[in-house]
Amino acid sequence: MDFSSPRWLGGRGAVGGNLQTIWPALYSKRYHGPAPVYRRERWNTPDGDFIDVDFQVGPEGADAAADVPMLVLFHGLEGSSASHYAQSFAHWARERGWRYVVPHFRGCSGEINLAPRAYHSGDFEEIGWVLQALRTRHAGPIVAVGVSLGGNALLRWAEEAGETASAVVRAVCAISSPIDLAAGGQAIGRGFNRHVYTRMFLRTMIPKALRKWEQHPGLFDRERLRAVRDLYAFDNVFTAPLHGFRDTDDYWHRGSAKPHLHRIRVPALVLNARNDPFVPAHSLPRQAEVGPFVTLWQPHHGGHVGFPAGAWPGHVMTLPEQVMGWMVDRLPVDGVGRPGARPA
């Protein structure tokens, strides 16, 4: 990816990384024309819970034809179909007549889920269940994009699925994903990141966890949760024990996609800006570590799910254009793409 941020929005260093993260999320243009419109479906999960899945409605008021390509986007931590990046990918899909779907992780659609669990960065079983359900109902090719947490979970699914992944999707992409969860967790727990990003996430995560305790009294130590001030402590009290991990270190170790990238057997794009405040550049993999099916894009600019472009106040539509250009190259020649379901 050849990407440079606008001159007015910083550069390669920490200041630029933060500006390129915060400004796009708050102020940048995400689409042309009307806002994306979704049709929501509630799916019952195998364990008696539910997730909400948003399907973009086409301009004529109906979903696109069943045999066109489908783009599935898995959102990041505390994200949704309304996140800035989700709206920019929705615009790309709408302009090209693709079907577009945003499955919400449990508890992220505006309504708390029912089961004594939530979601986490290594939730590959949930990713697999969602993709298989979409595969059974959609005749056309499917590609999947995961953003931040959702990207790590998507890669973990591709790693676990191995050769069988290609029967479900044509290609996958992880954007700004903390594929080394320990490195990412340490980065977000220090200095400016701790005071700004950690506080932002905990502002919604702690109340949702307390509502989960009200559903299931005694599920975790409520007073310890009230006292947490960083994601490491939150994961120790809530995320790890609720999802079968011993503690935060065990969760971050077993949930990280980076050590297993060589197992992927479907075309996969891993995009990380080297000035991402959440994902230290020193933790990123090299091409020799990942195997022939994985393509690494590591531009110097972009921040965390930012990649702003254009004149003031900027837009975030370059990101889906470049990512989906790579995806289309992995589709068969069927009227929508160029040749190649092939490893990069």
Active site residues: 148, 276, 304
Distance CA 286, CA 272 (A): 12
Spell 322-335 as b/e; 16+ CB within 10 A means b: bbbebbbbbbeeee
| Rama region for 332: left / alpha / beta (φ>0; ψ in -120 to 50; rest) | beta
Distance CA 107, CA 296 (A): 31
How many CB atoms sit inside 10 A of residue 13's CB?
10
How many CB atoms sit inside 10 A of residue 249's CB?
16
Cβ atoms 188, 197 nearer than 8 A: yes
Distances (CA, A) of 320 to 85, 93, 147, 273: 8, 9, 12, 15
Scanning the structure block, which residue is given the tokens 């697999």? 128
